[in-house]
Each structure stands twice: as structure tokens, then as C-alpha cells.
């Protein structure tokens, strides 16, 4: 990927169309949230692009501009929203049904939300078993479906006068599948589309349509979608940025906050048992063992890479890591996560930590959709393409270059993201090296 110092970044002029395959709880909480923030009805809490600041230069200089003022990000007033869903409900109805945002807030946004109607979806029942909608496309082949999506994207862009577009999958979690022969090269994948290979999932058809058009694309769910060689090849050819998958919210966010702390203090971890109850449609879909398997694999990967049991076998070598999700309708979108962590201290003495997180799934995910849309658009305008490791911050499964492990530690991820922004602007990277290592008075205080 072409990361250069002080690169020319095209201005964020004109409208950015944000297209979401899947307009359920997360999708509508994101859209309604941006509309509410635009009207000054609520603050953009949880969004690094809107509330985050970035330190420049020495600590003594106290220069901390807002990220949104530092790099040219598109303004919220210039965002337009669209998407696809297997249910025909407009964004107002879908948001009301999702039950995340309160009725009085949705009422104030009603007209704008009602105007956002999903386009018919590319859908295949075998990939999401517990979902039964009929707002779906018909087509002669999977390639034909991809062409129809490209037409949808072009029409949306024309109708809304978009200068640029980004896509973020906010659809249901598809069943777990390993890549097969059709995923190994672009040629094989396109041939697979033409003969409607059963190994090609609907989410991959969306990804193909976006990347073919050179539109940055991210996958909010844990299923296989852009993370295989054919898509990497397509992204390279069309010079399109791609990134990781499965929004890092809730329990996994807590894990990647806590685990780096244990490791920093060399506290051992004998076991980490995590269980969740949630009652939204996502929970219902994850009640299918095959969809849960996609989630489980994504959630389990996190601890091993942070704690490095191979490097620290005495502390983390025999760790038991268990993750459960149970569908429990009364809880709705307000997921409850429990963690029991068995840690060890000095001389191997055992201790326990219990975390009970009563969270709101879509409230945690919506700002990530916003940041990803804005940063992927920035990446495209900066000429970055292929895997964007600096966006690992947002993912349970960060995309990474071949031959290296993904970075899961939230704090390293944030440093990486901010240093990438400094690098793009040609500013000095912050290394935190202490002033005591410099001779002269005027040497930098890091
Ligand atoms: N909320 C979080 O904290 C969080 C975190 C990580 C990942 N996710 C993932 O984000 C996704 C969305 O979560 P949600 O709570 O909004 O779920 P949801 O069930 O409310 O919404 C998903 C929507 O996608 C639609 N859909 C499914 N297949 C589709 C297809 N092929 N094309 C178009 N639309 C399709 C469904 O009809 C539904 O409306 C899920 O995969 C979930 O696992 C959510």
C-alpha cells in the first residue's frame, strides 16, 4: 500500500454517499444518530473522528487540534445515506422496531428517516438461516446480482449528487465458511460468480460490486467477505482501501482494554470465561450455531494475539478461553456481558476479576460506522489502497499484511491510527521517548 510522507490529500469536497448493506439496529442507529447530531439534538459520543484530538509536537507546546480539523474529513452535513435490506421497512420503521433509540428522538427525525428506503437485497437463505424477508433481488446468476448492485450504486449516486461513496456492511452475520478454491484468485471468483458457486456468500457479492467500482468497503460482521485473496487482488487493481471485520464493541472492546494491562504488569491469566445474553435480531441470527461460529472465531482470536502465550508460556500458556452468546428476547439490544477472569500474581497466587457490562450494542457500534466511513473516504482521497492496518482500532478481526500477526491491543491500535494521520500530514510521529535521553535544552520533550 502506498503510504507516503506528507501526501497530497484531495479535498473532502461534495457529498459522500454512505451505503449500508443491512439497515437493522446498527445501520439505523448510525443514520438516525448522524441526523440527530446534525440537528444539534445530541453529541457524537464515542466517535474519534468527531470528538477525538491529536497531540502534535512537544507536550510543552500543548497543541491538540481536533482530528476533524487536522485532516480533511467530510463534514456530517455532506453525508447522504442509503442501503439494502431483506425487509422493505424505511429507516424510521426499522429504527422503531430495533428499539434502540427513544421514540421522541425518532419523531424529531421522522421525515428524514422515512425518506430512506432500502433497496432490495442480495440474499441467500442458507447463509442466514434465522431470517425470513422477501425484499430480495432475483437474477440469472451471482454475477448478474453483482451487476444489479452496481446499477443500484450508480443510481443512488446520481440521484443524490454524490462526489464519492463508501460501503459498510451492517447486515446479519452469515454462517461460518472457510475460503475455498473460488476465493483464491480474482479470476476464479469471477468465474464462480458467473456459475453461481454456492461458496460465494451474498456479503461477498456486495463486496465485489463495491471494490470493482473502486469504492472503499468495510465489513461490520465476522463472516468471510473481503478477507480472501480474490478481494485483495481486486482492491489492488482498483486501488481501493479495505480493512478488517466485525466491529469491536461490548465485551471484546473490554477484553482489548483489560488484557494489555495484565500483560503490561506480567500478571498471569489462567482462564477467561465470557458469556452474553442479547435479545435483538442479531441475537436471533446468532442463535444459529453456524452464524455463532463466525462470531466465536472472531471473538476468540483477540486474547491469544494480545497475550502471546508462545512468548510468555509461563503466564498464558494454559489459558482457557470460552465465549458464549445466548439469545434472550427480553434483553433486546441492551446486551449483558459477563466475564470471569482467573488471574495469577506474585508466586502464582490466584485472584479473580468479574466484569458485568450492561451495554447497548448499537450505541457502541454506530460511532464506529461513522468513523470508518469518514476514514476510509480519507484513505481513498489520500491514494491509500489495499489493507489499511491503521484502522485495526475498530475491529475484532483486524486485517493485516501477510506474514505478520494482527494488532489487537487497543492502545497500540490508537497510536498506530494517530501516527498514520501525522504521517499523512508530514508531521513528526510521537514516540514518547523521554526528554532525559536528549543532551541539549532545546531537544524535543516527547
Ligand atoms: N452492535 C454491535 O455491537 C455489533 C458488533 C459487532 C458486529 N456487529 C454485527 O453487525 C451486524 C448488524 O447488527 P444489527 O444489530 O444491526 O443486526 P440486525 O439484525 O438488527 O440488522 C441486520 C440487518 O441486515 C439485514 N440483512 C441480512 N442479510 C442481508 C443481506 N444479504 N442484504 C441486505 N440486508 C441483509 C437484516 O434484514 C437486518 O435488517 C451483525 O452482523 C452483527 O453481528 C454488531
**Are 244 and 255 contained in the same domain?**
no
Q: Which pLDDT value is given to residue 443?
A: 55
Residues 130 and 147 in one domain: yes
pTM of the model: 0.94
Domain count, the chain: 2
Has residue 77 been placed in a domain? yes
380 & 406 share domain = yes
Q: Are residues 160 and 138 part of one domain?
A: yes
> Does any domain span residue 330?
yes
Residue 1 pLDDT: 42
Within-domain flag for 434: no
Residue-level pLDDT at 440: 55
Residue ranges around ligand 1 (CB below 6 Å): 21-27, 84-87, 98, 121-123, 128, 131, 133, 170-173, 202, 220-221, 246-247, 249-250, 280-282, 285, 361-362, 364-365
What pLDDT does residue 184 have?
97
- pLDDT value, residue 442: 53
Domain of residue 277 covers 251-358
Per the CB < 8 A criterion, the answer to whether 182 and 192 are in contact is yes
Determine the pLDDT at residue 284: 83
359 alpha carbon – ligand 1 mean position (Å): 17
Domain-ending residue, one of 358, 386, 413:
358
Which atom of ligand 1 lies closest to the CA of 173?
41
Q: What's the CA-to-centroid distance between 113 and ligand 1, angstroms?
A: 18
Residue 382 confidence (pLDDT)? 96
CB 216 within 8 A of CB 240: yes
| Closest-lying ligand 1 atom to the alpha carbon of residue 362 | 1
Q: Do 222 and 354 have their domain in common?
A: no
Pocket probe mutation, ligand 1, options 172, 219, 332, 364, max atoms within 8 Å of Cβ: 172
Ligand 1 centre and the CA of 23: distance in Å? 7
Residue 256 domain flag: yes
With respect to residue 7, please indicate whether it lies within any of the assigned structural domains. no
429 Cα: distance to centroid of ligand 1 (angstroms): 37
pLDDT of residue 97: 94
Q: Does the residue 430 lie in any domain?
A: no
CA of 221 to the centre of ligand 1 (A): 7
Residue 6 lies in a domain: no
Kindly report the protein residue whose alpha carbon is nearest to atom 9 of ligand 1. 221
Could you report the per-residue pLDDT of 45-65, keeping only the tens digit for each?
999 999 999 999 988 888 999
Helix, strand, coil in percent for the chain, rounding step 5: 45, 20, 35
Cα distance between residue 241 and residue 376, in whole Å: 7
How many helices, marked H, and strands, marked E, lie in the chain? 15, 12
Residues 85 and 116 in one domain: yes
Say yes or no: 229 and 259 in one domain: no
Q: Quick one: pLDDT at residue 4?
A: 46
Domain-terminating residue out of 309, 336, 358: 358
79 and 205 fall within a common domain: yes
Considering the domain architecture, whether residues 186 and 280 belong to the same structural domain is answered as no
C-alpha 20 – ligand 1 centre gap (Å) = 10
How far apart, in whole angstroms, are the C-alpha atoms of residue 48 and residue 410? 13
Which of these three, 324, 358, 392, is where a domain ends? 358
Can you point out the beta strands (E) in 92-232? 119-120, 162-169, 217-219
The CATH number for 30's domain is: 3.40.50.720
Question: Same domain for 267 and 205?
Answer: no
Structural domain includes residue 262: yes
Task: Check whether residue 66 and residue 110 sit in a common domain.
Answer: yes
pLDDT at 433: 78
For residues 195 and 331, membership in a common domain is answered with: no
pLDDT of residue 403: 87
Find out whether 397 and 302 touch, Cβ atoms under 8 Å: no
CATH of the domain at 284: 3.30.360.10
The residue contributing the CA closest to ligand 1 atom 8 is 221
List the chain residues with pLDDT less than 50.
1-4
Amino acid at each position: 500500500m502506498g503510504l507516503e510522507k506528507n501526501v497530497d490529500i484531495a479535498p473532502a469536497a461534495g457529498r459522500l454517499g454512505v451505503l449500508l448493506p443491512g439497515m437493522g439496529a446498527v445501520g439505523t442507529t448510525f443514520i438516525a444518530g448522524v441526523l440527530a447530531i446534525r440537528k444539534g439534538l445530541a453529541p457524537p459520543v464515542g466517535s474519534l473522528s468527531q470528538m477525538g484530538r491529536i497531540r502534535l509536537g512537544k507536550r510543552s507546546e500543548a497543541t491538540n487540534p481536533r482530528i476533524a480539523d487536522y485532516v480533511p474529513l467530510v463534514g456530517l452535513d455532506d453525508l447522504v445515506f442509503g442501503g439494502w435490506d431483506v425487509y422493505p421497512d424505511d429507516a424510521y420503521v426499522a429504527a422503531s422496531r430495533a428499539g434502540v433509540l427513544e421514540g421522541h428522538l425518532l419523531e424529531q427525525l421522522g421525515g428524514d428517516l422515512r425518506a430512506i428506503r432500502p433497496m432490495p437485497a442480495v440474499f441467500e437463505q442458507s447463509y442466514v438461516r434465522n431470517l425470513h424477508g422477501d425484499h430480495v433481488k432475483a437474477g440469472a446468476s451471482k454475477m448478474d446480482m453483482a451487476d444489479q448492485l452496481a446499477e443500484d450504486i450508480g443510481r443512488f449516486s446520481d440521484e443524490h449528487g454524490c462526489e464519492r461513496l463508501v460501503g459498510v456492511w451492517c447486515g446479519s452475520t452469515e454462517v461460518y465458511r472457510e475460503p475455498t478454491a473460488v476465493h483464491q484468485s480474482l479470476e476464479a471468483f469471477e468465474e464462480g460468480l458467473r456459475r453461481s458457486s454456492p461458496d460465494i456468500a451474498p456479503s461477498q457479492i456486495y463486496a465485489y460490486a463495491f471494490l470493482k467500482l473502486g469504492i472503499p468497503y468495510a465489513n461490520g460482521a465476522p463472516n468471510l467477505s473481503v478477507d480472501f485473496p480474490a478481494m485483495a487482488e481486486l482492491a489492488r487493481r482498483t486501488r481501493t482501501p479495505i480493512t478488517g471485520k466485525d466491529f469491536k464493541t461490548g465485551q471484546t472492546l473490554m477484553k482489548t482494554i483489560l488484557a494489555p494491562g495484565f500483560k503490561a504488569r506480567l500478571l498471569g491469566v489462567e482462564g477467561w470465561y465470557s458469556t452474553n445474553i442479547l435479545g435483538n435480531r442479531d441475537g436471533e441470527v446468532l442463535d444459529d450455531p453456524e452464524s455463532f461460529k463466525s462470531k466465536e472465531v472472531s471473538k476468540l482470536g483477540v486474547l491469544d494475539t494480545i497475550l502471546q502465550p508462545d512468548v510468555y508460556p509461563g503466564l498464558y500458556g494454559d489459558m482457557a478461553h470460552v465465549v458464549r452468546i445466548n439469545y434472550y428476547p427480553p434483553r433486546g439490544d441492551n446486551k449483558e456481558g459477563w466475564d470471569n477472569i482467573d488471574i495469577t500474581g506474585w508466586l502464582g497466587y490466584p485472584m479473580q476479576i468479574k466484569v458485568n457490562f450492561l451495554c447497548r450494542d448499537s450505541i457502541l457500534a454506530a460511532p464506529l460506522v461513522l468513523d470508518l466511513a469518514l476514514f476510509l473516504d480519507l484513505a481513498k482521497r489520500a491514494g491509500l489502497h489495499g489493507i489499511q492496518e491503521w484502522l485495526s482500532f475498530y475491529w475484532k478481526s483486524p486485517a493485516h499484511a501477510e506474514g505478520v500477526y494482527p494488532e489487537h491491543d487497543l492502545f497500540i491500535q490508537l497510536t498506530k491510527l494517530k501516527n498514520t494521520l501525522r504521517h499523512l500530514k508530514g508531521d513528526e510521529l510521537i514516540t514518547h521517548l523521554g526528554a532525559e535521553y536528549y543532551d541539549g535544552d532545546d531537544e524535543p520533550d516527547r
